[in-house]
């Protein structure tokens, strides 16, 4: 496994923040993609999930997460949709690796990223982000690729 420290440039995202079961992730992603298409925007980056806590720490009802996508096109940083939000993500550094396999198993590399940050005197400054680099509709589970990132300083 290759772990790297890299800089993520400033970018705009459309996202939905939720509290509760991960079972709603697919429906929320559909809503984000539909919203982007309705606004005549283009998906710029692969879709992602951010996990603010863990099912090992809290109950299913307390899980906090968001799903979204980068986009390009002219759009004010506001949304009239109750669920869909827009924000500008500032440039930041991350430690990153690519996991190959079922999306639900990507957390298996988290420990390696924690270890890398400790060994390189880095401090994790936020929640884990999983970026889905291919589509389960087109690729089998064993070929799925997820980039796992932790923001660091």
Chain centroid to CA 117:
19
Length, in residues, of the chain? 153
State pLDDT tens for residues 82-139.
Answer: 789 999 999 999 999 999 999 989 999 999 999 999 999 999 999 999 999 998 788 8
Give the domains, in start order, of the chain with CATH numbers. 3-152 (3.20.80.10)
Residue 77's pLDDT is 56
Q: Are strands 128-132 and 48-51 parallel, antiparallel or unpaired?
A: antiparallel
State pLDDT tens for residues 35-90.
Answer: 999 988 999 888 999 999 999 999 999 999 999 999 998 766 555 667 899 999 99
Enclosing H/E stretch for 6: strand 3-8
Residue 81's pLDDT is 61
Of the two residues 79 and 25, the one the predictor is more confident about is: 25
Residue 21's pLDDT is 96
Number of C-beta neighbours around residue 118 at 10 A: 11
pTM score, whole prediction: 0.91
Chain centroid to CA 89:
12
Half-sphere exposure of 118 (CA within 13 A, CB side): 6
């Amino acid at each position: 496994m290759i772990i790297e420290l890299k800089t993520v440039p400033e970018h705009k995202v459309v996202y939905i923040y939720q509290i509760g079961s991960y079972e709603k992730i697919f429906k929320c992603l559909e809503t984000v993609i539909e919203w982007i298409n309705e606004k005549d925007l283009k998906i710029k980056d692969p879709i992602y999930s951010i996990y603010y806590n863990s099912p090992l720490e809290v109950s299913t009802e307390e899980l906090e997460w968001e799903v979204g996508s980068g986009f390009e096109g002219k759009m004010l940083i506001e949304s009239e949709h109750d669920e869909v939000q827009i924000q500008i993500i500032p440039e930041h550094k991350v430690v990153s690796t690519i996991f190959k396999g079922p999306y639900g198993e990507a957390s298996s590399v988290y420990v390696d990223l924690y270890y890398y940050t400790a060994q390189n005197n880095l401090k994790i400054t936020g929640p884990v982000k999983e970026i889905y680099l291919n589509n389960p509709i087109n690729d089998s589970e064993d070929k799925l690729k997820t980039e796992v990132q932790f923001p660091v300083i």
